[in-house]
Structure 1
Amino acid sequence: MSQEPVRTLYINGEWRSANGSGSFAVTDPSTTEIIGYASDGGRAETEEAIIAAQAALGPWSSTTAYERAAVLSKAHALLRERHEELAQLLSQEQGKPIRAARTEVTYAGDFLSWFAEEAKRIGGVTIPSARADQRFITMRQPVGVVAAITPWNYPISMITRKLAPALAAGCTAVLKPAAQTPLLAAATIRLFEDAGVPAGVLNMITSQRAAEVGDTLVESPIVRKLTFTGSTAIGKMLAAKAATTLKRVSVELGGHAPFIVMPDADPVRAAKGAALVKFLNTGQACISPNRIYVHRSLYETFLATLEQRVGALKVGKGTTEGVGIGPLIDNRATEKMESQVGDAREKGARVVIGGRRIAVDGLDGENFYAPTVLADVTPEMLISSEETFGPIAAVAPFDDEDEVIRLANDTEYGLAAYLYTNDLSTAIRVTERLKFGMVGVNDINPTSAAAPFGGVKASGLGREGGYEGIDEYLDTKLVGIAV
């Protein structure tokens, strides 16, 4: 236990410790060494944060859009100044390779910049009336106090993707970041604090008691909006509890993305794309392709290229330059890789490369898993139905379009899908038939702060980013005027 008071709770503009000074250790997943401590907030502190957000709502929502935009722009400028510092902390605390960490910090800044501008575009409309003596207009107003719960796999960009539109809309918020990455969350909140966000507008509860804090947020009648990114199981549970107070809900949940390589595609280009997106963030991304379907005529060429690309990936500590595969977040995640690969092997899959937990020279951590390619994967295998969230590429051949679309859509998830083809008609036809919220056509990164992000089915509700992103934090008020 740390000897000095740990102050990572941010309530009503003050950094403070948890009641009773409870705290928990934060570890580097590369080594499992303790790198810091975070305050372990609970129900009482969460209730204080909610009250602070409610008190700040009136004054903050009364500011002009230009004033709110200026604060977000200042936060973006500060992020750019602290870019490398934030990236290094992200890499150490979460294990993300430093190059990817730098990319994520930039992406986080994009949301600050985008929603600073979107704040100025909040407007209503006029609507014709059937009565000559009546006029209709609409107003867009902040929904109120927002509860934001963010994940560990993208620990800074998911914070700004939620808080930037909330603040731009005139809402106040209580953030509950993942217990694995509270130090980066605190550094992110300091950006807002130093940019001039008033006391109470933003509040944060770091905690390893996720259920206690989450229940307090969703059960509170003061909180009018829940935004959550995480597992489908937890998202469903939170949404059900939020229904008791009829909160607005947006949830971005799990994924099981198909990656389809049509017979007219370039198999080498497709394999290079698959290697880049599959092993991004060590495979710990909700849009990571879980099922790779390659037309049988291209199958062996695709596998050979994928094996070559995966074999060149360097495994190691995230903060080491040149590393492409960092550690998984914890031992439970690594055990899941072992389980999926073991199941696939037993049911006939071929391990092309990898397929085992590995040790990295000079590190004592046990969370490293070799980047893996499985061939001849079938629907009966666990990896075909269960989200992997790790560095395993599962590849299967297919023979015709109807077959691959049936396989691709055969999942409860509907977040992202990928399609490689050189034929425009095929691109349009297959995209229309895929039941997913986002489709990348010959594109492994169909995301941007300026574009809507989100899924269908069990992958979530609502959209983040784009002009739709700020709508999630606004209510529409109709005004009828007799003239």
Structure 2
Amino acid sequence: MSLQELLTKAYIGGSWRAGRGGTFPVYDPATGEEITRVADCTVEDLDEAIEAASEAYSSWRHTTVKQRATLLHKIQVALLDNKDTIATTLTRENGKPKAEAAGEVMFAASFFEWFAEETRRQYGETIPSAAATKRMITVRQPVGVAAVITPWNFPIAMLARKVSAALAAGCTCVIKPAEDTPLVALAFAKVCESVGVPVGVVNVVPCSRGRVQQIGSRLCESPKVHILSFTGSTAVGKWLYSRCGSTLKKVSLELGGDAPFIVFPSANMDTAIAGTMVCKFRNTGQTCVTANRIFVHESVYEEFVSRLAKTMDSELKVGNGLDLGVNQGPIINQRQLERLDKMVRETVSAGAQVVRGGASQGGLYYAPTLLTGVTPDMALAKNEIFGPVAPIIKFSTEEEVVSLANTTDRGLAGYFYSNDLSQVWRVAEALEVGMVGVNEGLLSTCEAPFGGFKHSGLGKEGSKHGLDEYSNLKYICFGV
């Protein structure tokens, strides 16, 4: 199979189609140049995709777990075989460094391997009966058609995390990729076609920004869609959640984060600095689990800031993600860049000091930025940053910093560095987040559940729990 040519048409019911709305441009954020134009699908196109998925579900749901596992393994292998090509496409439309893009493709493949194995472990249970004349069991069955709405920051990884679980459970999919990054989703559709995924089981319906609300509404309101899975902003997630009420479909939401990153006095400073670098600057800071508010104890504050600044100088290189050695790409689009710049300017105007960076570098590039003197009431401490900006907040006590960490309506991830064993247990349990990194800045893996508390979403992705979102638990009672 070859993915050398960019795929630009929608993939609906096993065929490649133009969109009824014409086409829309996809830009390279590193250069500002148009890469290509992609099918702009309308509600009518979407309805055909939903119908194709619904028809395919009637047979796909009855495939054996071994058949599904075989196909999922084939998708895994095909993704890895085409890693370089998909990674190049990902870098061109998203801007992330090529090495990170290649890592994302491997990460995506890992979910198909994981759920190929987990599909054979969708166990039910036997329930001891209080009545001698009854026998009780439970079984798991697929939900139905899954609507999958994916983000631009990890366009192949987030697609894979959702679709692998859906297919393993026996669901079919209609995928709506982010308008900034539809090309890797279409490449994924080609992968599915090449390995023999049945017609209609996977459908990809791209659309322009102007049609997003219409497409989202139809996915929410269609009675033939039985679960909606979305990764993106909290505001959009709430809107989608409210629209799903009319059909009472299942909803899985992975929404915005506001991750605290805490450095206690007992922390190993080498480990804490390394963790900050990977947690803050991976994907140019454009991740939902990035270190958003960096709290550093007053006793190690000056050392931490000095060492972090020097490490940023020596390790971060800004530029086109296709260029050798670059590890900081552009911001995804002008809208996001302006939002980031506004927050930094407001924070500096409120009294924060710029240690490194603090300004745009032309085009969509933003200098890796380090700010000190940040307080919890400043703009960067109250909003999800989504950029290469590290605001440092000083704290005095454990009680104070835990309170500050939890003073947010979001609770996706949290991190802290400490070698005090008692403190490790106290803080890990006290943080109001779905995932905690203790002396570790990278959390995501196919084996562990990914998801948050509060306004950071509903449900879990990955792990054995990822199948729960796409299956229903049925109780069967036998009279004997």
TM-score relative to the length of structure 1: 0.96
Q: How far did residue 381 of structure 1 move?
A: 0.5
Match of 1:317 in 2: 320
1:3-402 equivalent positions in 2, closer than 5 A: 7-19=8-20, 22-208=22-208, 209-312=211-314, 313-359=316-362, 366-402=363-399
In the aligned structure 1, how far is the partner of 2:8 from the partner of 2:183? Answer: 11
- Tell me the distance in 1 between the aligned counterparts of 2:268 and 2:57: 54
1:304-354 alpha-carbon deviations (Å, 9 max, x no partner) = 111011122110001112101100001111112211111111111010000
Structure 2 counterpart of 1:94, one-letter code: N
Shift of 1:447: 1.5
1:263-299 CA distances to partner (integer Å, 9 max, x unpaired)? Answer: 1112333122102210100000000011000000100
Partners of 1:196 and 1:117 lie apart in 2 by 19
State whether residues 11 and 204 of structure 2, in contact with CA within 8 Å, keep that contact through their aligned partners in structure 1. Answer: yes
What is the distance in 2 between the residues matched to 1:212 and 1:166? 24
CA deviations 1:360-416 (Å, max 9, x no partner) are xxxxxx100000001010012111111000000000111001000011001111000
| CA–CA distance in structure 2, aligned partners of residues 244 and 322 of structure 1 | 51
Partner Cα separation in structure 2 for residue 426 and residue 123 of structure 1: 38
Task: Give 1:193 shift.
Answer: 1.4
Instruction: Tell me whether 1:421 sits opposite 2:418 in the alignment.
Output: yes
Alpha-carbon distance in 2 for matches of 1:133, 1:447: 47
Structure 1 runs of 4+ with >3 Å offset: none
Aligned counterparts of 2:133 and 2:9: Cα–Cα separation in 1: 57
Q: How far apart, CA to CA, are the structure 1 residues paired with 2:460 and 2:383?
A: 24
Report the 3-state secondary structure (helix = DSSP H, G, I; strand = E; otherwise coil) of the residue aligned with 1:289.
coil
Q: From the superposition, tell whether residues 113 and 270 of structure 1 become closer, same or farther in structure 2 (CA, over 3 Å).
A: same
Matches within 5 A, 1:410-449: 410-449=407-446
SS in structure 2 at match of 1:29: coil
Q: CA separation in 2, counterparts of 1:133 and 1:8?
A: 58
Q: Is the 8 A contact 1:271 1:303 kept in 2?
A: no
The answer as to whether partners of 1:268 and 1:301 remain within 8 angstroms in 2 is no
- Identical aligned residues as a percent: 48
Q: Quick one: distance in 2 between partners of 1:398 and 1:164?
A: 42
Query: Partners of 1:276 and 1:127 in 2: how far apart?
Result: 47
d(CA) in 1 for partners of 2:110 and 2:214? 32
The residue type paired with residue 31 of structure 2 is: T
Q: CA deviation at 1:83?
A: 0.7
SS at match of 1:131: coil
**CA distance in 2 between partners of 1:68 and 1:331 (Å):** 42
Deviation at 1:192, TM superposition (A): 1.4
Q: In 2, Cα distance between the equivalents of 1:135 and 1:352?
A: 69
SS of the aligned residue for 1:19 comes to coil
1:362 is matched with which residue? none
Counterpart Cα distance in 2 of 1:396 and 1:6: 46
Letter in 2 for 1:449: C
Sort the Cα spacing of 1:186 and 1:6 in 2 relative to 1 into closer, same or farther, 3 A: closer
Q: Does residue 451 in structure 1 map to residue 448 in structure 2?
A: yes
| Cα distance between partner residues in 2 of 1:168 and 1:289 | 32
Distance in 2, matches of 1:251 and 1:43, equals: 22
Cα-to-partner distance string for 1:122-159 (whole Å, 9 max, x where unaligned): 12111111110110111100000110000000010011
Distance 1:52 1:188 in 2: 18
**Residue 6 of structure 1: CA displacement?**
8.1
Which AA in structure 2 matches 1:27?
A: Y
Aligned match of 2:3: none
Unaligned runs of 5+ in 1: 360-365
Aligned residue type for 1:439: V
Distance 1:144 1:272 in 2: 44
Cα RMSD, aligned residues only: 1.1
Check conservation: 1:272, 1:305, Cα contact below 8 A: no
SS of the residue aligned with 1:472? helix
Counterparts of 1:202 and 1:334, CA distance in 2: 34
TM-aligned CA deviation for residue 7 of structure 1: 4.8
Number of residue pairs the alignment of both structures matches:
472
- Give the TM-score taking structure 2 as reference length: 0.97
Q: Which residue of 2 aligns with 1:363?
A: none
- Cα gap change, 1:99/1:6 in structure 2, threshold over 3 Å: closer, same or farther? closer
What's the offset of the Cα at 1:438?
0.3
Offset of residue 81 of structure 1: 0.7
Secondary structure of 1:297's match?
A: coil
Q: Deviations over 1:50-72 (max 9, x none)?
A: 11111111100110000001001
What is the SS of the residue equivalent to 2:424?
helix
For the pair 1:461 / 2:458, whether they are aligned, the reply is: yes
